[in-house]
Structure 1
Amino acid sequence: MNHHETIESLADDVLQGLASSRSGLIYASNTVGKTRLAQHLKDRDPDGVVLYNSSVEDVFTWDNERVVLQMSVVESELLEIIATQGLDGAIVKNFQAFTSDKIEPRIDFESGEISFGIHTGDDRATDGIKISRAEESIFVWCVYYSVLSAAIDTLSDSPDLRISADYDNLTLAVIDDPVSSMDDARIVTVALALADLIKRAATLNLKFLITTHHALFFNVLFNSFRWSKKDQAYMLQRGPTLGWVLKSQPHDSPFSYHLGIVKDIDLAISEGTVQRSHFNQFRTLLEKTANFLGHTGGWGDLLTGPDADLLTRVLNLYSHDRFSDLDPSLVSEEYIDALKGEFQEFLRLFRWERTA
């Protein structure tokens, strides 16, 4: 277990671990600092690191009136590579593999627009389809995934036979939480595909760092790499007073995930920093506990305080895809009070012990 007071020290520790490993997998709850770590690694070595994070997602915005996904081509090095190397066909193929071969994206780099339709060539053909938030997340992931896949294929050739020099300086792929808004089935699919991609790069001088707050994503990747001693797993937590604690994680799930959620929510309540992510964490804790205890009625059975009905509605509301774009800090005091009361009652009823 290593304590770091600066992001520079934390990044040094992560890179030192990768020096003798093929990949690093880090679990960290929201707001701990995994996104900051990912961006810092990119800033330290802009040419050597290819990064997937929320900034990649921000390049794409949905236009409800025109029913297209708009992209800022000039703001993304990934999109520049796609345009120059003609990877749009690979993106379409990967999107259909991750979702359904019925929906086909059409990418227009001149207008910076992506439209979606069902192109059957008959009366069933439909253009201008509004895709779900999960499908949008998958499309954005496919942009990065297609570039990374092409990079691995290119770097697998000898330098004098490579079709492009765009990837020659690439040494590290940093992937920060690519599964936002996805359901469990798609999360598993993305994790397995990423694991296969990393295995394809086993002979290359290319390292991988994946950070996530999603236990299932962590679990699938952890078990996909279990055969290899070249992959390391960690848990990143806030330090007791300052900075971060990075410790080796020898098990997949639930490791200390449940205790970590309790600690995160406890801290947010005590500091007055409750956000929507803490409601989603509490719902996850309720779901896992209900499954473990065999509550056939579901996680709602575990809420027994006076605000049980209100909090149930709020937890269902905040977990819905169409609310994922809202400012996570905008939570009403009524909802926060309901969370506080029901959380404390849940801990008391099921005799949870706080950890230091």
Structure 2
Amino acid sequence: MSGIRTYQDLGKLVTRLRDDLNDKELVLLYAYNRTGKTRLSMEFKDRGKRRNNGKADTLYFNAYTEDLFIWENDLENDLARGLKVNYNSKFFDGFTNLGLEPTIDEYLKRYASFDFDIEYKEIQLADESFSKPSFVIFSKAGHVNIKISRGEENIFIWCMFMAICERILDGHESYKWVKYLYIDDPISSLDDNNAIAVACDLAILLRRAAHRKGENGAPAPIKVVFSSHHSLFFNVMCNEIGRSKEGEPSVGHKRYFLHRPNDEGRYTLRATEDTPFFHHVASLAELQKASELNTGTLYTFHFNALRSIMEKTAAFFGHSDISFCLKALDDDENRALFNRALNLLSHGKYAIHEPTRMGEDNQELFRLILNSFIFRFQFDLPEILGGSSTVITP
């Protein structure tokens, strides 16, 4: 598919996406807020139920997923603070016999520093009794029933979803009905600082979904639609999914910019596999803003973002890694310094709510690399971002 295609309503757009997933494992959608991504995810889910006589085929993560959890402040006693869980949802079916807590904790420890404990309730359905999660309490540094922030709450829910996905890919009975995952803006309410760490972990899981085998060893992929308005997050996802991994087959995927030109209900898809990624350039502008001496704030994760943009720039010019971008810089001494810095400082896990600020030396080095890169490659902001085309200059 080339150029831009228009779809008159969400139903026709869902048909396009499901058709794409007939021969691809993954569809990546970039879209601004208020485009209709959440409604699109629900229409995608509903299409599956209509096709399967009311039986779902899609496990989704979106704003409705977060609504399965309600914060309880225990206003009367101020003691039993935590998350009330809507255990009637199929989302929680696997908790009865899968023991998801260790996997949730493994993910959570990568992004946050609090602990959790899930309380269960026996649910009677016909002649059977099921144990379902009903309440979650949180603790930190010996303090129990603590109040966590909205961002921390959302990252906990996300870690729970990732743990469920692990069991889906393992082929557990509770989730054998899942043929598709639809993931919409998993970090919509989180601190932007460490989108990179979350995106890298998600990309690993989606690669596993694409290469999944059935019990007989035949290919049995879980097909995925991923959508986001977060340019940096989407940038990392494209890089991680698109790059070749030694010993792994490539992931068949399509990338689109989803847009709604007006309020008439029409949608457009712009294929972006073979065109410059305007969201990468938007990320570059964000880095330039963060690096401003008097008004910006630089964190260690910004090296990841810069490296990611350099990788995409090199790929656009037909080269396999960022050495192409570094070779384009004139100073041999700086070239070696930049290479060491990008290799050493663009890796590692960073806590979502405790971002690490760069030291003064690294800030100076970052600005030097960024300004040299921008000066060498004259980037045009695409008109589709709004307004006229603008050249980013140091």
Change in Cα spacing, 1:32 to 1:54, as seen in structure 2 (3 Å) is same
Asked if the contact 1:238/1:244 (under 8 Å) is kept, the reply is yes
Asked if the contact 2:21/2:223 (under 8 Å) is kept, the reply is yes
| 1:224-243 mapped onto 2 (5 Å cutoff) | 224-227=240-243, 228=250, 230-239=252-261, 242-243=265-266
For residues 252 and 64 of structure 1, the distance between their equivalents in structure 2, rounded to whole angstroms, comes to 49
Identity %: 28
In structure 2, the gaps of 5 or more residues are: 50-55, 75-79, 122-132, 213-219, 244-249, 298-352, 354-385
After superposition, what is the alpha-carbon deviation per residue over 1:246-292, rounded to whole angstroms, capped at 9, x for unaligned? 11123798615888xxxxxxxxxxxxxxxxxxxxxxxx99856635x
For residues 29 and 141 of structure 1, the distance between their equivalents in structure 2, rounded to whole angstroms, comes to 21
For residues 130 and 185 of structure 1, the distance between their equivalents in structure 2, rounded to whole angstroms, comes to 22
1:83 Cα shift?
A: 3.0
1:68 Cα shift?
A: 1.0
Residue number among 167, 170, 176 corresponding to 1:168 in the alignment:
176
In structure 1, the gaps of 5 or more residues are: 119-123, 155-163, 260-283, 301-320, 322-350
Asked if the contact 2:103/2:163 (under 8 Å) is kept, the reply is yes
1:181 alignment counterpart? 189
For residues 248 and 295 of structure 1, the distance between their equivalents in structure 2, rounded to whole angstroms, comes to 33
Q: TM-score, normalised by structure 2?
A: 0.60
2:159 maps to 1:142: yes
For residues 273 and 237 of structure 2, the distance between their equivalents in structure 1, rounded to whole angstroms, comes to 13
| 1:214-233 mapped onto 2 (5 Å cutoff) | 214-227=230-243, 228=250, 230-233=252-255
Q: TM-score, normalised by structure 1?
A: 0.66
After superposition, what is the alpha-carbon deviation per residue over 1:67-118, rounded to whole angstroms, capped at 9, x for unaligned? 21111112x2112322343323322332223323xx2100002282111113
2:37 maps to 1:34: yes
For residues 151 and 105 of structure 1, the distance between their equivalents in structure 2, rounded to whole angstroms, comes to 23
1:2 Cα shift?
A: 1.4
| 1:1-356 mapped onto 2 (5 Å cutoff) | 1-46=4-49, 47-65=56-74, 66-74=80-88, 76-100=89-113, 103-110=114-121, 112-118=134-140, 125-154=142-171, 164-201=172-209, 202-203=211-212, 204-227=220-243, 228=250, 230-239=252-261, 242-250=265-273, 255=278, 287=286, 290-291=289-290, 295-298=292-295, 352-353=387-388
For residues 238 and 192 of structure 1, the distance between their equivalents in structure 2, rounded to whole angstroms, comes to 28
Q: What CA RMSD, in Å, does the superposition of the two structures yield over aligned residues?
A: 2.9
What SS does the corresponding residue of 2:182 show, helix, strand or coil? strand
1:179 Cα shift?
A: 0.4
After superposition, what is the alpha-carbon deviation per residue over 1:49-74, rounded to whole angstroms, capped at 9, x for unaligned? 11111111001111234321111112
What SS does the corresponding residue of 2:269 show, helix, strand or coil? strand
Q: For 2:187, give the aligned amino acid.
A: V
Asked if the contact 2:24/2:252 (under 8 Å) is kept, the reply is yes
Change in Cα spacing, 1:251 to 1:27, as seen in structure 2 (3 Å) is farther
Q: Which has the higher strand share?
A: 2
For residues 354 and 3 of structure 1, the distance between their equivalents in structure 2, rounded to whole angstroms, comes to 24
Asked if the contact 1:219/1:253 (under 8 Å) is kept, the reply is no
1:8 Cα shift?
A: 1.0
What SS does the corresponding residue of 1:169 show, helix, strand or coil? coil
1:29 Cα shift?
A: 0.6
Q: Which has the higher helix share?
A: 1
Change in Cα spacing, 1:242 to 1:288, as seen in structure 2 (3 Å) is farther
What SS does the corresponding residue of 1:15 show, helix, strand or coil? helix
Asked if the contact 2:260/2:267 (under 8 Å) is kept, the reply is yes
Asked if the contact 1:287/1:299 (under 8 Å) is kept, the reply is no
1:296 Cα shift?
A: 2.1
1:7 Cα shift?
A: 0.9
Asked if the contact 2:232/2:279 (under 8 Å) is kept, the reply is no
For residues 105 and 256 of structure 1, the distance between their equivalents in structure 2, rounded to whole angstroms, comes to 36
Task: Detail structure 1 runs of 4+ shifted over 4 Å in the superposition.
Answer: 251-254, 256-259, 284-289
After superposition, what is the alpha-carbon deviation per residue over 1:152-172, rounded to whole angstroms, capped at 9, x for unaligned? 012xxxxxxxxx433333221
For residues 59 and 11 of structure 2, the distance between their equivalents in structure 1, rounded to whole angstroms, comes to 19
Asked if the contact 1:78/1:143 (under 8 Å) is kept, the reply is no
